[in-house]
């Protein structure tokens, strides 16, 4: 399968042979071979010259989860590089991936189970054994004078939902063991994630439009890239994959145009950076759609056959969104919108990239829908070089089907969010405070730092600190964090480099990559992989999960999936023989036996064939009565879409009972009182800004990911102080000079001690502060403070920075958007004053 990998060398050779055709070619190639150096796969100690031991594994510094090779010298992990056998990251890995060594060796790791002995948040701990820790967790007991209930107590009382499990990062087999086995077997589905603070608006918009949430942009095969608020040269769900392909495309002359409020590195590398007012990307996309329809550059067949609207209706709907109107809204010139729209409409194919810059807004879902419409009407959907659904490995793995129950605290306050398809995790603590939907007795976080990562830090801290609201707070973590610091019990997990899991991130080559994460070094101290811990907890509770250990689970998954476990251990990645990219899978016609049978129903209203037994319907009659759209989990039984008198695979729905069409016109949204066609939703707070008010946006940089890499010394050395970016004109009005200390105030709170950085790389009227920094309890490199059990290394004494930056979440409210529950990280209205 590695033939799919285009290395620089092969690429060069290819060019050499095509340009020199014949005569000189053989000589050239021989010479070229003689001097060729290999790119990776081996490594030698610069001191001793000895070859370092190589172990393939998988990264987990961010959700991109690339395949890596890890080099071990004298039992110590010393280097990480990309796995050249990976078709996704092609032997490359970013700065974060390489700095991950610190996740193992950072001086502030938690190496023993820690029990709180002082007041909550006082920072007084006692090291305890795993046996004591699990006994406390299962049977309850006393923590610093207060009695707490255990897992067994709750389960025996018939209230397993009183145990809430809230994770930040859990994918692949890590999630499969816990979410698909342990938690349902235990009986709780009070389970939260973190998608709402990420990009849920994008996901929900995809689910409303064309099904599964992950989309990819086939930039390497495209002719034009239109980018709304994505920063893929610095951070992206598939950063290394997309960045490599995009720079290749640019080098081949493909134009990249970026709309962003800030000159990100992506904007800087783009052929054009177009500054835009925050939250108005949708307006520009709609105006572009308008131009494309007016100019007749649309794909009539796709619109008429595969969408839920038609050319006439679309034209009529888009009439209101002229480029001139969009200029007034977004500050992007009408002329520019028109010319780009024509260019994009003529690009065959083109692809529209969008991310948090466009979607982490009040109107995020509508913005994303507008961008999908842009791709859709141009005929860029599911074609080579267009916008497609990513293809990831589909591991088959053991699952337990229990009948778990849950507390209704996961989806925000009633009526706030129309379709919380990935929950509203930033509302969980507020729901707990409110208490009307109940409060968990045990609140367990896993690889999650709610105090820091959610908006409204102060309120998060106050709730987590309150023993009346959260009686027993357990954190599973690898190092001290702001949230673990407030916990009653910390269970030390292994880092991703000491861990077993299979993983399945999507591949931009449209060929699935099955890959493995395996321990590169022995787990440090008393740390234990939490998946193994839950297997032991299950045993102690008398639950049989059907597998003995994480490795056993992985072996069983591999066996069921037809993947050779030993091969994965040796090579790290595996690709199915003969797999090829599949384009336009929706247009595949289904043979009649696929959609006939006793379990299968045709929903006349939508034309969807569906298998009612896979929904929550009690009987066939109940399913028919409710209909496809209204039956809970009906989408799980989706079979095909009837168009005319043929049945097609269609756009398979996920999370929502949409039809198998490309739903530009959304009945689901109409039902909730929104405009069924993609529309511009003005952000209420931005409409009447006062003179002194500014909009605060946030961003990520290339050498940090989220909130969990700041104790990686090589990264924090490069990026530790996050300034507030402000345009010189905006700053001048406030008498702010470069380097001044300022305070950023909002209704939620204020960010103190911010350093102002004047830059012409930002839209005036906006200030921007990156995430990542401003930790107050995350070890010495991140926060300047040593954590409990700190173990010095030589570099501790060489920390040359004293400013650890600021966290904008002190001023950002934890409020959801009305459709998906997206946390609005780009919308906050603030004032900025000199400190």
Partner 1 sequence: MKKRERSSSGQSTAEHERPLRRREVLKVGTLGALAGCTGVGKAMAGGGSANKKKCYGMVIDLRRCIGCHACTVACKSEFNVPLGVWRSWLRIKEDGEYPRTRRTFMPKLCNNCRNSPCIKVCPTGAAYYDQDDVSSIDQKKCIGCKLCIGACPFKQRFINPDKNTADKCTMCMHRVRKGLVPSCVNTCMGNARIFGDFNDPNSEVSQLKRDNKVEVLKPELGTKPQVYYIGGTDR
Partner 2 sequence: MPTYDIFHLPALDSITVMYFFFSGLTSGTFLLSLWAGYGQEKLKSVAKPAAVITPISLAIGLLLLVLHLERPFQFWRILITFKPTSTTSWGAWVLNIFFVISFLYAFLWLKNKGEKAKMLGLFGLPFALFTGLYTGLLLMQMSGNALWDSALLPWIFLVGGLLTAIAVTVIVLTVMGQKPTEPFFGLRRHIQALIAIELLMIASEFVGLFTGGAAATEIAVMLLRGKLSFWFLNLEVLVGLLIPLGLLIVAKRSKNAGLHVAVSALVIIGVLTMRFIVVLVGQGQI
Q: From the list 58, 59, 64, 94, which residue makes contact with partner 1 (rule: CB under 8 A)? A: 94
Whose Cβ is closer to partner 2: residue 759's or residue 831's?
A: 759
Integer Cα distance of 29 and 36 in angstroms: 10
Beta-carbon contacts of residue 27 (< 8 Å; ≥ 6 apart): none
Only one of the segments 395-403, 566-574, 709-717, 827-835 lies at the binding site for partner 1 (rule: CB under 8 A); that segment is 709-717
Over the range 91-121, which residues count as b (16 or more CB within 10 Å of their CB) and which as e? bbbbbbbbbbbbbbbbbbbbbbbbbbeeebb
Under a CB-based contact definition with an 8 Å cutoff, are residues 689 and 764 in contact? Answer: no
Residue-level length of the chain: 835
Binders of partner 1: how many residues, by CB under 8 A? Answer: 69
Pick from partner 2, partner 1, none: which does 812 bind, CB < 5 to 8 A by kind?
Answer: none
Query: Among partner 2, partner 1, none, what does residue 757 contact (CB within 5–8 Å per kind)?
Result: partner 2
- Does 528 engage in binding with partner 2 (CB under 8 A)? no
405 binds partner 2 (CB under 8 A): no
Binding mask 708-727 for partner 2 (x = CB under 8 A): -----------------x--
Cis before 349? omega within 30: yes
The verdict on 757 binding partner 2 (CB under 8 A) reads: yes
> Burial level of 776, CB count in 10 A (0-12/13-18/19+)?
middle
Distance CA 590, CA 608 (A): 13
Shortest distance, position 783 Cβ to partner 2, whole Å: 22
Yes or no: say if 69 and 55 are a contact pair by the CB < 8 Å rule: yes
Q: Which does 756 bind (CB under 5 to 8 A by kind): partner 2, partner 1, none?
A: none
Q: Which stretch binds partner 2 (CB under 8 A): 19-27, 301-309, 755-763, 783-791?
A: 755-763
Which structure tokens are listed for 453? 């990562």
Q: Comparing C-alpha atoms, which of 356, 340, 334 is closest to residue 279?
A: 356
Residues 672 and 419: their CA atoms lie apart, in Å, by 9
Among 67, 80, 442, 506, binds partner 1 (CB under 8 A): 80
Q: Which of 58, 137, 143, 240 binds partner 1 (CB under 8 A)?
A: 240
95 binds partner 1 (CB under 8 A): yes
CB of 349 to partner 1, least distance (A): 20
Q: Edge-to-edge strand order for the sheet containing 224-228?
A: 272-275, 255-260, 224-228, 350-354
Could you write out the three-class secondary structure of 54-121?
Answer: EEEEECCCCCCCCEEEEEEECCEEEEEEECCCCCCCCCCCCHHHHHCHHHHHCCCECCCCEEECCCCC
CA dist., res. 287 & res. 276, Å (int): 14
Q: Are 664 and 383 in contact (CB under 8 A)?
A: no
Q: Tokens 């209909």 — which residue? A: 627
CB of 725 to partner 2, least distance (A): 8
Nearest approach, Cβ of residue 344 and partner 1 (Å)? 20
How many Cβ atoms sit within 10 Å of the Cβ of residue 549? 15
Which of partner 1, partner 2, none does 576 bind, CB closer than 5 to 8 A by kind?
Answer: none
Q: Which stretch binds partner 1 (CB under 8 A): 268-276, 287-295, 321-329, 814-822?
A: 268-276
Site pattern 3..42 for partner 1 (x: CB under 8 A): -----x--xx--x---x--------x--xx--x-xxxx-x
The single residue among 174, 199, 220, 234 that binds partner 1, judged by CB under 8 A, is 234
Question: Which span sits near partner 2 by CB under 8 A: 412-420, 604-612, 648-656, 754-762?
Answer: 754-762
CB of 83 to partner 1, least distance (A): 12
Distance CA 446, CA 484 (A): 10
Binding-site member from 761, 776, 795, 799 for partner 2 (CB under 8 A): 761
What gap in Å lies between CA 168 and CA 197, rounded to an integer? 10
The item of partner 2, partner 1, none sharing an interface with residue 243, based on CB under 5 to 8 Å by kind, is partner 1
| Closest separation in Å from C-beta 760 to partner 2 | 9
Residues binding partner 1 (CB under 8 A): 8, 11-12, 15, 19, 28, 31-32, 35, 37-40, 42-46, 49, 78-82, 91-99, 101, 233-234, 240, 243-244, 247-248, 250-253, 263, 265, 268-269, 273-275, 702-703, 713-715, 717-718, 727, 759-761, 764, 794-795, 798-800
Residues binding partner 2 (CB under 8 A): 725, 757-759, 761
């Amino acid at each position: 399968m590695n033939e799919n990998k285009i290395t620089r060398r092969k690429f060069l050779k290819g060019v050499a042979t095509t340009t020199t055709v014949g005569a000189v070619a053989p000589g050239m190639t021989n010479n070229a071979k003689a001097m060729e150096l290999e790119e990776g796969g081996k490594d030698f100690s610069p001191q001793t010259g000895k070859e370092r031991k190589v172990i393939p594994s998988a990264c987990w510094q961010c959700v991109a989860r690339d395949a890596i090779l890890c080099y071990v010298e004298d039992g110590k992990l010393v280097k990480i590089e990309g796995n050249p056998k990976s078709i996704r990251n092609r032997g490359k890995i970013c700065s974060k991936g390489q700095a991950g060594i610190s996740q193992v060796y950072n001086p502030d790791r938690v190496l023993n189970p820690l029990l709180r002995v002082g007041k909550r948040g006082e920072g007084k701990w006692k090291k305890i054994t795993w046996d004591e820790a699990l006994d406390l967790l299962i049977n309850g007991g006393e923590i610093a004078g207060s009695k707490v209930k255990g897992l067994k107590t709750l389960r025996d009382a018939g209230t397993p939902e009183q145990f809430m499990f809230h994770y930040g990062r859990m994918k692949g087999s890590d999630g499969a063991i816990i979410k698909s086995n342990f938690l349902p077997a235990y009986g709780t589905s009070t389970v939260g994630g973190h998608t709402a603070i990420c990009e849920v608006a994008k996901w929900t918009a995809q689910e409303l439009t064309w099904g599964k949430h992950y989309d990819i942009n086939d930039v390497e095969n495209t002719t034009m890239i239109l980018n709304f608020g994505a920063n893929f040269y610095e951070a992206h769900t598939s950063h290394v994959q997309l960045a490599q392909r995009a720079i290749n495309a640019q080098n081949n002359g493909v134009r990249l145009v970026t709309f962003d409020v800030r000159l990100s590195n992506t904007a800087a590398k783009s052929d054009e950076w177009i500054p835009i007012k925050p939250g108005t990307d949708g307006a520009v996309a709609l105006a572009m759609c308008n131009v494309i329809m007016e100019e007749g550059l649309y794909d009539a067949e796709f619109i008429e056959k595969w969408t839920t609207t038609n050319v006439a209706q679309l034209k009529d709907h888009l009439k209101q969104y002229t480029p001139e109107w969009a200029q007034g809204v977004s500050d992007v010139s009408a002329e520019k919108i028109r010319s780009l729209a024509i260019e994009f409409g003529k690009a065959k194919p083109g692809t529209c990239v969008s991310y948090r810059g466009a979607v982490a807004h009040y109107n995020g879902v509508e913005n994303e829908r507008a961008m999908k419409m842009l791709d859709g009407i141009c005929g860029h959907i599911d074609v080579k070089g267009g916008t497609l659904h990513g293809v990831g490995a589909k591991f088959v793995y053991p699952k337990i089907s229990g009948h778990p129950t849950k507390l209704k605290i996961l989806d925000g306050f009633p009526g706030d969010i129309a379709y919380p398809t990935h929950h509203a995790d930033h509302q969980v603590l507020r729901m707990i405070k409110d208490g009307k939907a109940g409060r968990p007795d045990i609140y367990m976080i896993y690889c999650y730092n709610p105090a820091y990562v959610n908006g409204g830090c102060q309120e998060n801290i106050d709730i987590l600190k309150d023993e009346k609201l959260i009686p027993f707070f357990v954190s599973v973590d690898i190092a001290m964090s702001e949230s673990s610091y407030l916990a009653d019990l910390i269970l030390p997990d292994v880092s991703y480099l000491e861990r077993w899991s299979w993983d399945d991130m999507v591949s931009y080559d449209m060929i699935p990559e099955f890959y493995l994460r395996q321990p590169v070094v022995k787990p440090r101290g008393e740390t234990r992989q939490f998946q193994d811990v839950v297997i032991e907890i299950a045993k102690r509770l008398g639950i049989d999960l059907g597998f003995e250990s994480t490795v056993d689970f992985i072996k069983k998954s591999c066996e069921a999936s037809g993947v050779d476990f030993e091969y994965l251990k040796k090579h790290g990645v595996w690709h199915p023989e003969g797999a090829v990219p599949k384009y336009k899978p929706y247009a595949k016609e289904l043979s009649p036996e696929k959609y006939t049978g006793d379990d299968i129903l045709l929903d006349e209203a939508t034309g969807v064939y569906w298998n009612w037994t896979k929904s929550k319907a009690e009987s066939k009659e109940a399913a028919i009565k409710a209909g496809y759209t209204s039956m809970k989990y009906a989408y799980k039984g989706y079979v095909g879409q009837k168009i005319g008198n043929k049945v097609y695979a269609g756009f398979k729905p996920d999370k929502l009972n949409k039809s198998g069409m490309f739903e530009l016109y959304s009945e689901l949204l109409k039902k909730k009182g929104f405009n069924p066609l993609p529309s511009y939703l003005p952000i209420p707070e931005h409409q009447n800004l006062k003179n002194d008010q500014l909009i605060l946006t946030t961003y990520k940089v290339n050498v940090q990911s989220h909130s969990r890499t700041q104790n990686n010394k090589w990264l924090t050395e490069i990026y530790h102080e996050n300034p507030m970016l402000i345009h010189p004109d905006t700053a001048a009005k406030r008498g702010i000079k470069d380097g001044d200390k300022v305070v950023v105030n909002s209704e939620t709170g204020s960010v103190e001690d911010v350093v102002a950085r004047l830059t012409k790389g930002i839209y005036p009227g906006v200030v921007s502060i990156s995430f990542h920094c401003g930790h107050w309890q995350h070890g010495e490199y991140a926060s300047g403070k040593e954590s409990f059990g700190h173990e010095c290394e030589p570099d501790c004494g060489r920390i040359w920075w004293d400013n650890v930056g600021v966290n904008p979440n002190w001023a950002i409210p934890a409020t959801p958007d009305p459709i998906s529950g997206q946390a609005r990280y780009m919308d906050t209205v603030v004032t900025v004053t000199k400190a």
